[in-house]
Chains A and B, each alone.
Chain A
Amino acid sequence: MGVSVPTQAAPERGTQTRIGAAFAPAMSALRSLEVDTRLLGMLGALLLIWVGFNILSGGTFLSARNLWNLSVQSASIAIMATGMVLIIVSRNIDLSVGSMLGFLGYTMAMIQAVWIPNDLGFGHEQPLTWIITLVLGIALGALIGGLQGFVVAYGGVPSFIVTLGGLLVWRGLIFRYAQGQTIAPMESTFQMLGGGTVGTRVGALGEWPSWTLGIVLCLAIVYLQISSRRRRRRYAFPVRPLWAEGLVGAVSCGIVLGVVWVANSYPLPVNVALQYAEEHGITVPPGGLFIPTGVAFPVLIMLIVTLVVTFLATRRRFGRYVYAIGGNPDAAALAGINVRRTIMLTFALMGSLAAISAAVQTARLNAAVTNLGVQNELDVISAAVIGGTSFSGGIGTVPGAILGAVVMQSLRSGMVLLLVDSPTQDIVVGLVLVVAVGLDTFVRRGVR
């Protein structure tokens, strides 16, 4: 008996190990890279989408112009998606972000276009108007987000209900005090936040500051790698093999510099460039003037938000507690974590991020309209979920949500290029959302 059993099992196991052996070097290489395989999978999917659209659109999709616009369009959803990750990770939901965005955008428009210049009598185009507007907007966002969070955490009302109420209330308030009016124009420095142009001022970094940003980011990546290695060495923990460390660093820096390169390959519009040349006494060469636009301000803002929220999520107690609450709320409470305060803070953070997105959107439109941000909550939640955030709580990453936002926007923008009508776009995006989450659940169950 004891002999016959293994011989029966042997052939089967043989094929398995043979298949396993074929993949083994790749798998072990991947393991020593210690990268998030799901993030890698999403990058792969994004690449597929990009290449597919590029072929279908005859090379238009991967043009600098389209990618630059794509980055700007993704930014405002991506900014909010970073906060939505933390909300969903802690087993809550915020349906009010679109309405909050509308309300906050409206308020910020009133501050700069009516209250500061007219009611307070300071006049238009004051140097501090944009920053005062932005700071007040972010503070108000934190306040109304925190208010919703307070009702959820201390009142014990489910977040779905509270924020569904918020969705109606904030939108209703806009209609009440705007009376259907559009508030415009925005102050010109404020407009830069949207990435547009006013005269010869451009809402982007320009060529050399963009390269500088790219290089600084690369240095930061390398520094973080070295310091993390040194810390693990000090405790005699295993570290990545050097080749893996080098590869991860090189690929990360490559992506950063690639983004900068694309942004710098997108020239300023002809008339803006001509005006710029005139003002700066540049003679226009016969082939036309190529002035690189550089990284757009909305993208820069998104980058800063991503870094800040990632830092909060992974390096601070606050983030650790958010994930612990999502994993096991009872355990978190028994560990002495102030669960209620933590939940309230996630909503306050969400509110302030909605304010930042509101600034980007009103600046881009150069106006606040009553339907600003309508249905944004769906895009934001979709971005977080496509990015791997799980509704069962405790799982989700900020970079994943950013990728999710870019995937969503790529689909929309690609379909616009292919002249797909808007109802069909919705159908496709809806299907992709369900399929993406279904696939992810399937794969994760397999891993367990």
Chain B
Amino acid sequence: MLTQTTPTPAPVTQRVPLVEMRNIQVSFGGVRAVGGVSIDLYAGEVVGLVGGNGAGKSTLMRTLSGARPPDSGQIVINGQPVTIGNPRDAKALGIETIYQTLALADNLDAPANVFLGREVTAATTLDDAAMESATRKVIGRLNPNFKNFKAPVLRLSGGQRQAVAIARAIHFNARVLIMDEPTAALGPAETAQVHTLIRQLKSEGIGIFLVSHDIHDVFDLSERISVMYHGKLVGTVNKNDVTTDEVLGMIILGKPPTKLTQQDLAELHG
């Protein structure tokens, strides 16, 4: 059983970060959703990305997943500056995303969803049997009770749908995983399953950005926490150096821990 006190390998400064996002800016019709944010991620690390509604965390992650290229700024993968113009580019770099909406085609079955955009073909025709076989393996790892490999994912439960979305992200040897609210729609048992999975993936050396509203999830799973407030980065803190109250202060008031006053903290609980 994993415990809370597991010592985490603190990222050493001379190691090259897996992902560096430098000064990323995104605007929607004059509204600045992300204004010059820089964050990074190391292999085998979970970075929690937190902030209130509209803080810009999902938009920032969408620039990394290729869903919305940044207006300016630089993305560096393993020390190499890259251009991510669309989701295909991101996937080619080993960046996989589990969206909050799951982004599943409801009318298709699990194998079709797992391999969507990356179908296995035999002599240019779809090799459904090969895709089903691979899907059975990868989903079997996540959820041994999963049986409906032929049904449209529309008919599956929330947890099973989540399993399909996760399977799609981890089947293709991801190096970077973006998880946007991975447990928001799940029950306690399924949430625990996802937590176990995150720890396992981390131990395999995958870097994970965990976008979440749930401060406890974030404290539970991540090494470092980056807080966004109104499109800006408030700061990135080491989990072991801060209290949940201090992080809440960053989220709600947009102030780094050093600038938080006793009165601020009192108001948080008021």
Contacts and interface: CB of A to CB of B under 8 A. Distances in A.
Contacts of B124: 316
Interface stretch (A17-25, A232-240, A423-431): A232-240
Contact of B117 (A231, A311, A337): A337
B87 A334 contact: yes
Contact of B112 (A324, A334, A336): A324
A231 B131 CA distance: 12
Nearest to B104: A331
Nearest to A394: B107
A334 B67 contact: yes
29 contacts: A231-B129, A235-B130, A237-B132, A311-B125, A316-B124, A317-B119, A320-B112, A320-B119, A323-B105, A323-B108, A324-B116, A327-B105, A327-B106, A327-B107, A328-B103, A328-B104, A328-B105, A331-B105, A332-B116, A333-B87, A334-B67, A334-B99, A334-B103, A336-B86, A336-B88, A336-B118, A337-B116, A394-B108, A448-B155
Interface of A: 231-232, 234-235, 237, 311, 314-317, 320, 323-324, 326-328, 330-337, 393-395, 448
A394 B106 contact: yes
Contacts of B117: 332, 335-337
B87 A336 contact: yes
A314 B86 CA distance: 26
Nearest to B129: A231
Interface string B91-107: 10000010101011111
Contacts of B78: none
A395 B107 contact: yes
B162 to A, nearest CB: 14
A235 B129 contact: yes
A332 B67 contact: no
Nearest to B119: A317
Contacts of A232: 129
B148 interface: no
A314 B112 CA distance: 11
B47 to A, nearest CB: 22
Interface in B145-183: 155
A230 to B, nearest CB: 10
Nearest to A230: B129
B223 to A, nearest CB: 28
Interface string B69-102: 0000000000000000011100100000101010
B121 to A, nearest CB: 7
A328 B106 contact: yes
A446 to B, nearest CB: 14
B126 interface: yes
B27 interface: no
B129 A324 contact: no
Contacts of B243: none
B133 interface: yes
Given A324-B116, A327-B108, 4 more contacts: A315-B125, A316-B126, A394-B108, A395-B107
